[in-house]
Amino acid sequence: MLADRLPEDWKRELRTVLASPSFLELERFVAEERESATVFPSEEDLFAAFRLTPYQDVKVLLLGQDPYHGPGQAHGLAFSVQPGVPPPPSLVNIFKELESDLKLPRPKDGSLIPWAKQGVLLLNAVLTVRQAEPNSHAGHGWEDFTDEVIRAVSAKSEPVVFLLWGRYAQKKKKLIDAKRHVVLEGTHPSPLSASNGFFGSQPFSKVNKALRDKGREPVDWRLPA
């Protein structure tokens, strides 16, 4: 069962959606897909974002849409690829902006695990995908689950910074209590849109300023170079 792999702290926060007909149907769908096709990420990595970023530690939520659909890429963290895997185009653009914004050296690979361990929840709206078929698992129940994740983070008493890149992510703004938390919206880093507002947007320094303004520790965005 999918829920068996979710850490206990997150299970408590998400118990209502985990017991819903939508989630039970999702479990059946993903099990059938894994039997008939290659599905990413692996079962072991499915809930990596939740394992690396406990509920009580979340201070930033960065929302992606769909896992990478190439072999060896997706490992349960939005925008991140497994250590040693070359960064895909969107992640290359993220690293370009990181370098420009904070004058940090370009990372040697595409793993964002150090961010996750500091309280940056790297959440995709859909958590699985068929190999070579982007968005193939959209509309099968993951959105109900991850919407509830966003609501649960919004319910935290400590202020959180929500980073929403692109129109898809920005539609989730309605799930967030913007009076208590900070919502930063921006252009998606994909090659199709990065030059239309992502480059030069300084999202990393803006997140850290928002955290400091709320009395929280900033994120150390450095990655192994």
Catalytic-residue membership of 66: yes
Q: Of the residues 66, 109, 144, 147, which is catalytic?
A: 66
| Separation of alpha carbons 34 and 17, rounded Å | 22
- Contact call for residues 88 and 68 (beta carbons, < 8 A): yes
Number of residues in the chain: 225
Q: How far from the centroid of its chain's Cα atoms is residue 159's Cα?
A: 18
Nearest to 127 by CA among 140, 112, 114: 140
Nearest to 46 by CA among 117, 114, 145, 134: 145
Catalytic residues: 66
